[in-house]
Structure 1
Amino acid sequence: MALPGARARGWVRAANVAQRRRLSEDAGGTPSPAPGSQRAALYVHWPYCEKRCSYCNFNKYIPRGVDEAAMRRCLVTEAQTLLRLSGVQRVESVFFGGGTPSLASPRTVAAVLEAVAQATHLPVDSEVTLEANPTSAPGSRLAAFRAAGVNRLSIGLQSLDDAELQLLGRTHSASDALRTLAEARRLFPGRVSVDLLLGLPAQQVGPWLRQLQELLRRCDDHVSLYQLTLERGTALFAQVQQGALPAPDPELAAEMYQQGRAVLREAGFRQYEVSNFARNGALSTHNWTYWQCGQYLGVGPGAHGRFIPQGAGGHTREARIQTLEPDNWMKEVMLFGHGTRRRIRLGELELLEEVLAMGLRTDVGLTHQHWQQFEHQLTLWDVFGASEEVKVLLEQCLLLLDHRGLRCSWEGLAVLDSLLPILLSRLQEAWQQRPSSPVPGG
């Protein structure tokens, strides 16, 4: 068996060889940057977990045994196939999510990275993120992942209260979480993200803020705050429905969020997205691709992707969903090279709606230049400048529309969900009223 470090060196060698080949093929000796249609992020889904958490409805499975060698071969095959179909020439970032990808072996991570580097340009300094749970990521295992090519960790702490962790069905304690966090920061300094949930049943503002303050004494430069959503079909949903637990209080959750983001701002964190906070420039470049509506390839059971299948002669952006169940997905990959279950061509208006909804989640919002990459005819001023409803939101200082573009204010970012229906409705009206495109020669 190849050591993870050797596999990582294989990825670096593959990336360097591929880059030298492209340089020699370029007539001027300097490669031009790949256009947007030839760049993408890559998401790799590991579907297995040790235990299903009480609040989780993600596509994950609790297996009796995993044939990891078969899963590894299929992940590599599907990555190679989708890269070929997409015509992507440069992968900007790789994200191993799940499930619990820290249960996979470092060898699997290294094999995927090496395959990507051989198929396309994967810069050696690309962000490579692995999601990890504290109980599946002791220090020695984290070091092996680093040797395999991972350079950023996203740790699912969720809470620093043992009773809350038990309620959530987590397999770790608060002390486990802090121990893993300390080891992660030692191995990946400045590149460790932590998640914290808010709005749990019976959770109160004061104790939760004390958890956040404790976390700020221990954390790195990236924090994500997520409000608990009760999902139908989960154990927590059933407990609330049956009256065994009180329903989460949305007003208390809103107060936690508002106070939490203020605490983070005071601690030097930039709220660069609705749920994500970073300082010292430690933004997630992979997730930024999603919010900017860049292309991304989804590899693995149930993974989602958005790209133009140029290698298959396509010209329209598609939403792709891979087969959910791992065994069925593997059979399809072995037969066809990939396990895509659904392909949905996105219309022009659908894509603009996505650009609007995703872009406004960030503090940058939509710049005029960014909007024009997707829509050449209607400007942001055309769509939103004359709307009375939008004018009210501007007067309330929830939105800003100026020479930079359209974006939420600090106050508006917290209530984006209430703003989007108005903005999407206005976009749809403007789209229907737009002048028809000129016919060549007519």
Structure 2
Amino acid sequence: MAFLGARARCSAAAAAKVAQRRRLAEDARGPPSPPGSQRAALYVHWPYCEKRCSYCNFNKYIPRGVDEAAVRRCLVTEAQTLLRLSGVRRVESVFFGGGTPSLASPHTVAAVLEAVAQATHLPADSEVTLEANPTSAPGSRLAAFRAAGVNRLSIGLQSLDDTELQLLGRTHSASDALQTLAEARRLFPGCVSVDLMLGLPAQQVGPWLGQLRELLRRCDDHVSLYQLSLERGTALFTQVQQGTLPAPDPELAAEMYQEGRAVLREAGFRQYEVSNFARNGALSTHNWTYWQCGQYLGVGPGAHGRFVPQGAGSHTREARIQTLEPDNWMKEVMLFGHGTRKRVPLGELELLEEVLAMGLRTDVGITHQHWQQFEPPVTLWDVFGASREVKMLLEQGLLLLDHRGLRCSWEGLAVLDSLLLDLLSQLQDTWRQRTPSPVPGG
């Protein structure tokens, strides 16, 4: 029954979905769910993979056997509990991430969506995204996910070079990737995102740009470019440390990124976030919630969330992390209704630091209206209007501060990390000057 309900919701959503995406692309004003709002996004973590990729240090597990019915019951229970605790009345998007959620049964996806729809309002045009790897997503399975209520796919292609895919520990070939992409576009036209990695050991600019151009001949309306990050504890990190692989060249990676974003711009893509590019309004509305510091609930082992637990009588936004290990998480869900392991109340300054750091990742930046939704004691003009450091960044053409708000220029987006240190420091200094110390003489 849940499966059929989700199918009806999916088929009813197509036209409204396009309109919703266009509205977001055109105005993109402020957070969809400010602190204390009754709206939120929902992230669902599926922690299992077929194998661990050589670069990955995410919270994922290679199981000997998964009792999916038990996992499904716990995902449903935790979603219901957190929706009740948060007081959320409307879920604006759902994202199934991992791990490899395309390894889960479509019935699990349908059960979670049905539980959300029963506990709160899940509009027909809500974006429901599933991360998929080419090898776990044949056409018939993708069709079943569509029937379960998924209306957007995020495909982890990573590379169109078989040697690079082997280096990354991927289980698919370039041919598998392109075949899955073609099938996904047939089933989810205009709603397929693909990931491409850059900055791999021994990778060169020319061949990588060739991959990007080949992808542009085959892809849909959303592309994400991610630079390889060598994480301690991964196989790739060990190989580089031992000298069996050359260390990635950061200057070459920077050149790939700059050249790549120029190629995407020429192809009609808008760089709406540091790593994300869309055309025809195909922005990720779920990820936009993160970047605009909206509320989101994290369900599943190791999932993160940010929301005001109004159901518990609180008025303070919290950062929440669920228990990492799946078996322990399931025990806690069965005992308490949720597996929240860590709760960190966010102070006013901490929240504004998040608003600044996340908002500047987007091409819209932080509008004055958006900033005021978090009820700060200082305006953007108060913080940055008289700053010498900011004035230098404005003169260099890296930053813009005007009647719209604060944002990076095209050039500034590419070097955001180097700008943030000064901007966060300026916010902290202004905060100390404008807000009284709780300690006498402090």
TM-score (norm 2): 0.93
The answer to whether the Cα contact below 8 Å between 1:307 and 1:318 also exists between their aligned partners in 2 is yes
| CA distances 1:76-97 after superposition (whole Å, capped 9, x unpaired) | 0000000000000000000000
Are the aligned partners of 1:5 and 1:144 in contact in 2 as well (CA < 8 Å)?
Answer: no
Q: Post-superposition shift, 1:375?
A: 3.4
**Structure 2 CA distance for aligned equivalents of residues 18 and 154 of structure 1:** 20
Cα distance per residue 1:340-399 (max 9 Å; x no partner) = 000000011000000000000000000000001113421101000101011100000000
Query: Helix, strand or coil: the match of 1:220?
Result: coil
Answer yes or no: is the 8 Å Cα contact 2:131–2:154 preserved in 1. Answer: yes
| Structure-2 separation of matches of 1:386 and 1:23 | 32
Take 1:23 and 1:378, find their aligned partners in 2: how far apart are those partners?
28
Give the stretch that moved more between structures: 272-281 or 427-436: 427-436
Structure 1 residue 37: Cα displacement? 1.2
Report how many residues are paired: 441
Per the alignment, do residues 332 and 17 of structure 1 end up closer, same or farther by CA in structure 2, a change over 3 Å counting?
A: farther
User: How far 1:124 sits from its partner (Å)?
Assistant: 1.1
Distance of aligned partners of 1:438 and 1:338 in 2 relative to their CA distance in 1, 3 Å threshold:
closer
**How far apart are residue 36 of structure 1 and its match?**
5.9
CA distance in 2 between partners of 1:25 and 1:265 (Å): 17
Structure 1 pair 439–39 and aligned structure 2 pair: CA distance change class (3 A): farther
Q: Which residue of 1 aligns with 2:12?
A: 11
Cα distance, 1:109–1:271 mapped onto 2, change above 3 Å: same
Is the alpha carbon distance of 1:26 and 1:372 closer, same or farther for their aligned partners in structure 2, counting shifts above 3 Å?
closer
| Residue pair 2:33, 2:39 contacting (<8 A) in 1 also | no
Q: Match of 1:164, SS?
A: helix
* Contact 1:15–1:117, Cα closer than 8 Å, also in 2: no
- The runs of 4+ residues in structure 1 deviating greater than 3 Å are 1-33, 435-442
Secondary structure of 1:129 counterpart:
strand
Q: Does 342-351 or 375-384 show the bigger shift?
A: 375-384
Native 8 Å contact 1:7 1:111 kept in 2: no
Residue pair 1:352, 1:375 contacting (<8 A) in 2 also: no
CA contact (8 A) 2:17 2:126 kept: no
Q: Do the aligned partners of 2:36 and 2:308 also contact (CA within 8 Å) in 1?
A: no
C-alpha contact (below 8 Å) 2:274/2:414 kept by paired residues = yes
Runs of 5+ consecutive residues of structure 2 not aligned to the other structure: none
Q: 1:112 to 1:161 in 2, by over 3 A?
A: same
**Residues 81 and 399 of structure 1: CA distance in aligned 2, closer, same or farther (over 3 Å):** same
Q: Does structure 1 conserve the Cα–Cα contact (< 8 Å) formed by 2:36 and 2:307?
A: no
Distance in 2 between the 1:114 and 1:245 partners? 47
Q: Which has the higher contact order (CA 8 A, sep 6+)?
A: 2
Contact 1:23 1:29 (8 Å CA) reproduced:
no
Aligned mates of 1:17, 1:391 — CA distance in 2: 40
Aligned-pair Cα RMSD in Å: 5.6
The answer to whether the Cα contact below 8 Å between 2:201 and 2:246 also exists between their aligned partners in 1 is: yes
Cα distance between partner residues in 2 of 1:31 and 1:224: 22
Question: What does the per-residue CA deviation read over 1:23-65, in whole Å, with 9 as the maximum and x for residues that have no partner?
Answer: 99999999999x9611000000000000000000000000000
Separation in 2 of the partners of 1:18 and 1:155?
Answer: 23
- Kindly indicate whether the alpha-carbon contact (under 8 Å) linking 1:11 and 1:110 is maintained by their aligned counterparts in 2: no
CA distance in 2, matches of 1:275, 1:304: 21
CA distance, structure 2, for counterparts of residue 352 and residue 30 of structure 1: 13
Q: Distance in 2 between matches of 1:71 and 1:98?
A: 14
Q: Aligned pair in 2 of structure 1 residues 311, 236: CA closer, same or farther (>3 Å)?
A: same
